[in-house]
Amino acid sequence: MTGVLPTGLHLSGDVLVEGLGGSGPALVLSAPISFWGGVDAKTGRMVDVRHPECGRSIAGQVLFVPGTIGSSSASAVLMELVHNRKAPAALVLHEPDAILLLGLIVAREMGWRTPVAVKLDRADFGKVEGRQVAVSVSGAIDIVDR
């Protein structure tokens, strides 16, 4: 882990699903999303035209999700994203979604490289928006701007 902000900002999330730590630009969603029908599993692009971040890609981003709009197919979409190497570098959720996270668990059981998923209070999401962040396997979230 490198570069904690000079202000000492260091966030600590609770690990929901173990996986690889990752880093990248923080993509903080302003609204809950449905992975099924909302994210293209082949490209990682958000395709729900009603979502404020429609058109942005979650691939390789540290994705901060305030909530999900349920679908029992969300886990399959996330698993396909992992398989297609278009998954987020790390997944940070305000509200854990067992169905969504099942996709990471199954992908990991299949031997695929899966990102870590952590829980973090939504109030902290704004602290990372527009920043480069790293999420460790222990759930530590640090700003790594250069």
> Which residue blocks in 5-141 are alpha helix, DSSP H?
74-83, 98-109
**Known active-site residue 71:** yes
Distance of alpha carbon 28 from alpha carbon 138, whole angstroms: 21
Q: Select which of 12, 71, 72, 138 is catalytic.
A: 71
Q: Is 57 exposed, middle or buried (0-12, 13-18, 19+ CB in 10 A)?
A: middle
Q: Count, in order, helices (H) and strands (E) of the chain.
A: 2, 8
For the stretch 97-120, what's the b/e string if a residue is b when 16 or more beta carbons lie within 10 angstroms of its beta carbon? bebbbbbbbbbbeeeeebbbbbeb
Closest CA to 90 of 123, 110, 60: 60
Known catalytic residues? Answer: 71
